[in-house]
Amino acid sequence: MRTEVGIVGGGFTGLCCAYYLSRKNYHVVLFEKEAGPGGLARPVPFLDTEIDRYYHFICRFDSCLLAFVNELELGGAVKWRRTDMDYHVKGRLYPFTDPQDLLGFKPLSLWNRFRFGVSMLPFFLLSDWRSLDTIPNDAWLIRWGGQKVYDIIWKPLMVKKYHHRHREIPAAWVWGRTRRRSRSRHGFPRREVLGYIEGGTKTIIDRITRLVRSHDGELLDNQPVVDIRKLEDGFEIRTTNEVRRVDRLISTIPAPLTADLAPSLPEDYRRRLSELEYLAVICPIIAVDGQIARNYWTNIYETEIPYLGVIEFSRLNPDPGFQGKSVAYMPFYIWPEDDLWSASDETVLSIAIKHLEQMFPWFRSGQIRESLVHRDRYSQPLIQTGHLHRMLPFETPWEGMYILDSSMIYPEDRGLNNCIRLAGKLVSSHF
């Protein structure tokens, strides 16, 4: 008789666990609260196609993702495209992709432009990031680039992401996130090349679900888990619709939610799970006739503009289903106590549009042909200095139960590549 493994959470990490377990001949039962799998990568109808709820891109050294799509026989769906970045500073757009752009970046003096260039060297040359785990990001960035470079380049981005908690983030997190993107720049003058999957993340999700089901795996949508109990010989999982018994269990939902669902876990461990803090995200998507931004990615200096940047996704992925329209994402990372979290979609969209019209003089709200607003309460874990020694292990106090939480992706940040890596590591080491 096959061992039955329950997976709580049908996001991309849960799906990857289901795939790897199915290949090892386990019987998988995956519980997903939404109408379909994918989590933050789940596709939704948009224009004449489907689009990821949040933007995704592939970097040249996303080795786990690239190997995974080849294993799924989807390597041909990976496409690469040269991309460019702008930085919006004090009402002006500045190209910000390569060293030549840096020479013309007037918000910094010539000396500080040189210092910024030098400050990028550790992202390429430093391979052992562990020494950065206990160093605050601002102290490390100022040490390399100076105060002015930090104030103009780094601080606005950190404040927009983490707000009043931005100084708590370790230098290791900045190193991991920046290194991934910067390594996608190559040649001279170091042009950026990023990738995407034809058909979006849906292409991968559909292939995984088909393969898991071909091994008799059960992917149960609209089945929110409400309680998890340890039995003498397994686990009881109670959903809003049924009660299931499984032999072993993996929880891939945010750690505080795992603590809520398993009240009989040891109290000190539940407290450890509950103490992990997460930012929420609100992300409008718009499709317009004509141009939105000038390049694929626009970082924003002004902290009065509440979203982190403008990602004109159609400049990376010109999906035929976009009907020739420009499609852009504008992510707001906020703490859940922020009034914006409870604001209506219309309010969020109006804020996004108001600032777009200020940033890009050619853009007018009348060009918008379709829009969506997505929200997730648990989007970005707060990674604090010293995180390496507080990071959760796969194992829980209950033998046979394991967890995968996005705070365990460190020093890098969330993303499909690291979901695959973490899922593969857990299954290979514990099953």
Query: CATH code at 343?
Result: 3.90.660.20
User: Taking the model in full, what pTM does it have?
Assistant: 0.95
Regarding whether 151 and 10 lie in a shared domain, the answer is no
In a domain, 344, yes or no: yes
In a domain, 207, yes or no: yes
Regarding whether 39 and 179 lie in a shared domain, the answer is no
Regarding whether 282 and 272 lie in a shared domain, the answer is no
Task: Tell me the CATH number at 140.
Answer: 1.10.3110
Q: Identify the domain boundary among 194, 212, 247.
A: 194
In a domain, 44, yes or no: yes
Regarding whether 271 and 227 lie in a shared domain, the answer is yes
pLDDT, tens only, 107-154: 999 999 999 988 888 888 888 899 999 999 999 999 999 999 999 999
Residues spanned by the domain of 325: 278-381
In a domain, 70, yes or no: no
Q: Decide: 306 and 324 in contact? Cβ < 8 Å.
A: no
In a domain, 61, yes or no: no
Regarding whether 225 and 365 lie in a shared domain, the answer is no
Q: How far apart are CA 269 and CA 259, in angstroms?
A: 8
Regarding whether 108 and 180 lie in a shared domain, the answer is yes
What pLDDT sits at residue 127? 84
Regarding whether 190 and 96 lie in a shared domain, the answer is yes
In a domain, 64, yes or no: no
In a domain, 356, yes or no: yes
What pLDDT sits at residue 187? 55
What pLDDT sits at residue 150? 97
What pLDDT sits at residue 189? 55
Regarding whether 311 and 254 lie in a shared domain, the answer is no
Quote the number of domains for the chain.
3
Q: Identify the domain boundary among 132, 163, 194.
A: 194
Regarding whether 410 and 263 lie in a shared domain, the answer is yes
Task: Tell me the CATH number at 245.
Answer: 3.50.50.60
**Residues of the chain with confidence (pLDDT) below 50:** none
What pLDDT sits at residue 190? 65
In a domain, 88, yes or no: yes
Regarding whether 263 and 140 lie in a shared domain, the answer is no
Regarding whether 288 and 334 lie in a shared domain, the answer is yes
Q: Identify the domain boundary among 159, 194, 229.
A: 194
Q: Decide: 17 and 41 in contact? Cβ < 8 Å.
A: no
Regarding whether 369 and 226 lie in a shared domain, the answer is no
